[in-house]
Structure 1
């Protein structure tokens, strides 16, 4: 090969290879854990809790980066993990191409870019949102990717083959999709809280066929569909031996029987456009409502309208709209959209501390070893201790671009998707 051709060949390799500050230490991958793969929005326990207590606490663009991979398009969904593959749902900015990226977790190389749907006439999506904001879910060798009413698909993770699709679930999201799919006992649950229709549906995870659909029976108090929208991801809760699908909506939250879609209880709290995922801890469901009561804790028992009997506490100040909270020991930690960090007693709602910091936030918190991670929309990640006495910052870490997606975990490493790149961040000496 001529020297000029060889140099061009090397340059082309450097262009496609992800950034890595130093050569990869293969031994560092020998004990990577996949038992607790980060398989859905907010991880395997649906609450942002990492099973690794050793996530990195310090990094920047030149330190702690195992690899950095450019990601084209515009998508706010979080990474999910299956084995040694990181999956990202993706979309073009105009919403015409909805896709799925398979990234090699060891090298950061994009090994597959799958076109899932091509949309001739996409619905309007607000510039703050994206056409691929719902996070996929991986379960038993199948990945379920959801783009709201534009389509839902199942992909075999061993072959990368699409095994079924649905594009017949109507909803005018009005501002774009947001609710992520979840899987429980061979059912895939999807939530549609749109301008025109509001319903929850369960599909057979293997075939995609409808098992049940339940329309919302909420009294919204308005005929304006803008006040009926929500973007929340539901959570499965088992309380007093009763399993429930707890699904926040505009104005109210409803718990359904996951087997048949029957309504179990409803709590009214007001608000619309909420996006945070509910938490279950200490026998309480914590619900973020965006407006109205803002944040409340509910005992998830009883039937019918339980608003008057089962609301334990409310928190009206500095509650988030989009970032989901985390529980450590007996405390609930949160960051508001505008950068107010708070700690409250989860059983009583008593405020331990609340302090404003810089930044605007959409990403949900994650927790590791008594530390919490909050990534803002400009690329700064605040690591702070789960300390009920005061706001104790461990580190502030800056990347070149901001985060709309919530971070994920691979072994002892962080996966951070910014608006332009996917990073694997490590505390291992690189």
Structure 2
């Protein structure tokens, strides 16, 4: 009996190690394969510059703020022309950086305008091995075969008035590709069959709540997550004005909370039975004043604003960067550089520290440290803990808005001009 138990334990440990090893080889979504900002690597670069510890560097044509995704020996990016008339995919070889394929997936004769800080290729692709899924908001969504680079299917009929350009990234769940197209008119969420591109379900935000809002207050740019609560799979979507929890298999709205108005960007988080969502801008006297971070018990039904919100925090909460939770503490960097460490269960602040510059990229936890990249390409690396502990500072000297990718003990970094593979 004891020997069988030992064999079982050893087998479980081996399988766990294999799973961790495999997950550390690929990076399949925005903010990682588990979309929690954690990289499954044992070591990660601590020192680099634009010339030191660079394994390879290749130019990235045109413009895009999307982050890379990695599967096997391929790195995928999206890009677009500055004027929004052409939308591209780029595939690079992992080891050499060689450009394996570039193709124009969509074109547009009369593109919508975008915000000056956005791009026409901001949504990050997602990938599941033989297929990569690229999304440019209202301009199109496509599935591409990673073996032969052929387009398997396209959708150009999923429209939205983004107002400031597309930004929500697609996610994969089971047989579905889930997209958010939440513009100024009839914002909605849609689940597609990832093999065919056909619509499985579509959920439009409730007209009785959204129609009375000014159009500018209906838009959002966030990327959802899927969690399990009380045995039910929920799609957590922090839309403009309110957060929705959908039954991910049907699109049915299970619960909502109401928090405010405009332009949610930061992605939800899930840890230790709580959902953490960002409100986007809260307006006072018609002026964007601040954003709020909420912790929610996800087991309710209906309007749970008064019953299931566990805490709310509003002091220098970021609008764009998504926080990361490590060992029960939430680390978030405000768009203007203030880093706050909160107790994730209570919302109580533990420490604050100001970093230089402005921030768009979300922090990533890799090999025991947290990496914060500002827009100018400066990176501050800290050790998570009960006080601010700086480990290193580095600069790539180029604009960084994409999330850094950590796989196979290396870092892949997209800037406004280049794609870098950085080693130790």
Q: Does residue 418 of structure 2 align to residue 412 of structure 1?
A: no
Deviation at 1:295, TM superposition (A): 0.6
Change (3 A) 1:392 1:35: closer
2:367 to 357, 363, 369: 369
Distance 1:271 1:387 in 2: 34
What residue number does 2:141 align with?
152
1:347 to 300, 321, 345: 345
Structure 1 runs of 4+ with >6 Å offset = none
Is residue 415–residue 422 contact of structure 1 (8 Å, CA) maintained in 2?
A: yes
Deviation at 1:222, TM superposition (A): 4.5
Q: Does residue 88 of structure 2 align to residue 91 of structure 1?
A: no
2:422 to 420, 425, 429: 425
Deviation at 1:273, TM superposition (A): 1.1
Is residue 220–residue 250 contact of structure 1 (8 Å, CA) maintained in 2?
A: no
What residue number does 2:170 align with?
181
1:81-160 superposed matches below 5 A: 81-160=70-149
Deviation at 1:282, TM superposition (A): 1.2
1:224-239 superposed matches below 5 A: 224-239=214-229
Render the CA deviation track for 1:287-335: whole Å, top value 9, x for unaligned. Answer: 1122236111001111110010010011100110000111111100110
**Structure 1 spans left out of the alignment, 5+ residues:** 1-32
For residue 420 of structure 2, give the secondary structure of its aligned residue in structure 1.
strand
Question: How well do the aligned residues superpose, as a CA RMSD in angstroms?
Answer: 1.4
Q: How does the TM-score come out when normalised to structure 1?
A: 0.90
Distance 1:209 1:290 in 2: 31
For residue 138 of structure 2, give the secondary structure of its aligned residue in structure 1.
coil
1:315 to 313, 331, 336: 313
Is residue 246–residue 256 contact of structure 1 (8 Å, CA) maintained in 2?
A: yes
2:239 to 238, 249, 256: 249
What residue number does 1:384 align with?
382
Change (3 A) 1:357 1:35: closer
Distance 2:201 2:65 in 1: 29
2:271 to 281, 286, 292: 281
Is residue 337–residue 362 contact of structure 1 (8 Å, CA) maintained in 2?
A: yes
Distance 1:55 1:261 in 2: 39
Render the CA deviation track for 1:375-410: whole Å, top value 9, x for unaligned. Answer: 11101011111112x211111111121111111122
2:262 to 268, 272, 275: 272
Distance 2:211 2:151 in 1: 42
Is residue 34–residue 411 contact of structure 1 (8 Å, CA) maintained in 2?
A: no
**Structure 2 spans left out of the alignment, 5+ residues:** 1-20, 283-290
Render the CA deviation track for 1:109-156: whole Å, top value 9, x for unaligned. Answer: 111101111111111111210000000000141110000010000001
For residue 406 of structure 1, give the secondary structure of its aligned residue in structure 2.
coil
Is residue 282–residue 346 contact of structure 1 (8 Å, CA) maintained in 2?
A: no
Q: Which moved more, 1:179-188 or 1:213-222?
A: 213-222
What residue number does 1:25 align with?
none
Distance 1:178 1:386 in 2: 29
Deviation at 1:272, TM superposition (A): 1.5
Q: How does the TM-score come out when normalised to structure 2?
A: 0.91
What residue number does 1:297 align with?
295
Render the CA deviation track for 1:327-364: whole Å, top value 9, x for unaligned. Answer: 11110011010000010000000100112121100001
What residue number does 1:8 align with?
none
2:391 to 390, 394, 400: 394
Is residue 343–residue 353 contact of structure 1 (8 Å, CA) maintained in 2?
A: yes
Q: Which moved more, 1:221-230 or 1:312-321?
A: 221-230
1:337 to 335, 338, 343: 335
Is residue 143–residue 152 contact of structure 2 (8 Å, CA) maintained in 1?
A: yes
Is residue 294–residue 315 contact of structure 1 (8 Å, CA) maintained in 2?
A: yes
For residue 294 of structure 1, give the secondary structure of its aligned residue in structure 2.
strand
Is residue 288–residue 321 contact of structure 1 (8 Å, CA) maintained in 2?
A: yes
For residue 307 of structure 2, give the secondary structure of its aligned residue in structure 1.
helix
Deviation at 1:34, TM superposition (A): 5.2
Distance 1:46 1:374 in 2: 17
Distance 2:87 2:36 in 1: 27
Distance 1:109 1:131 in 2: 24
